[in-house]
Amino acid sequence: MNINNIRNQFPILDTEVHGHRLVYLDNAATTQKPLAVIEALSDYYSHLNANIHRGAHHLAAEATGRYEEVRRQVQQFIGARHHHEVVFTRGTTESINLVASSFAKRYFTGDDEVIVSGMEHHSNIVPWQLAGAVLRPILFSDEGVLDMDAYERLFSDRTRIVAVNHVSNTLGTVNPVERIVEIAHAHGVPVLVDGAQAVSHMMVDVQAMGCDFYCFSGHKMYAPMGVGVMYGREEMLSELPPYQGGGEMISEVTFERTTYNELPFKFEAGTPSVGDVIGLGRAIAFMQEVGVDVIAAHEADLLTYATERLSTLPGLRIYGTAPMKTSVLSFLIGQAHPYDVGTLLDQLGVAVRTGHHCTQPVMDRYGIPGTVRASFAVYNNREEVDALVAAMERIMPMLQ
Which residues form the catalytic set? Answer: 358
353 touches ligand PMP by CB under 6 A:
no
Dihedral sign, Cα of residue 111, residue 116, residue 118, residue 123: negative
CA gap 246, 233 in Å, rounded: 23
Cβ–Cβ under 8 Å, residues 62 and 50:
yes
Smaller CB distance to ligand PMP: residue 169 or 371? 169
Binders of ligand PMP in range 166-195 (CB under 6 A): 169, 194
Q: Which of 197, 200, 261, 381 is in the footprint of ligand PMP by CB under 6 A?
A: 197
Span interacting with ligand PMP, options 15-23, 86-94, 261-269, 280-288, rule CB under 6 A? 86-94
Q: Which of 33, 66, 84, 121 is in the footprint of ligand PMP by CB under 6 A?
A: 121
Smaller CB distance to ligand PMP: residue 9 or 359? 359
Strand-strand pairing, 23-24 and 350-351: parallel
Binders of ligand PMP in range 274-333 (CB under 6 A): none
Q: Is the peptide bond before 264 cis (omega within 30 degrees of 0)?
A: yes
Element (H, E) at 117: strand 113-117
Q: Which of 73, 75, 92, 261 is in the footprint of ligand PMP by CB under 6 A?
A: 92
> How far is CA 332 from each of CA 28, 177, 329, 355, 357, rounded to the nearest angstrom?
18, 28, 10, 11, 14
> How far is CA 75 from each of CA 32, 36, 37, 83, 231, rounded to the nearest angstrom?
24, 21, 19, 5, 9
Binders of ligand PMP in range 36-55 (CB under 6 A): none
Rg (CA), the chain: 22
**How many other CB atoms are found less than 10 A from the CB of residue 364?**
11
Span interacting with ligand PMP, options 91-99, 106-114, 293-301, 306-314, rule CB under 6 A? 91-99
CB of 88 to ligand PMP, least distance (A): 13
CB of 219 to ligand PMP, least distance (A): 6
217 touches ligand PMP by CB under 6 A:
yes
Three-point CA angle 165, 123, 357, nearest 5°: 80
196 touches ligand PMP by CB under 6 A:
yes
Q: Which parts of this chain interact with ligand PMP (CB under 6 A)?
A: 91-93, 121, 123-124, 165, 169, 194, 196-197, 217, 358
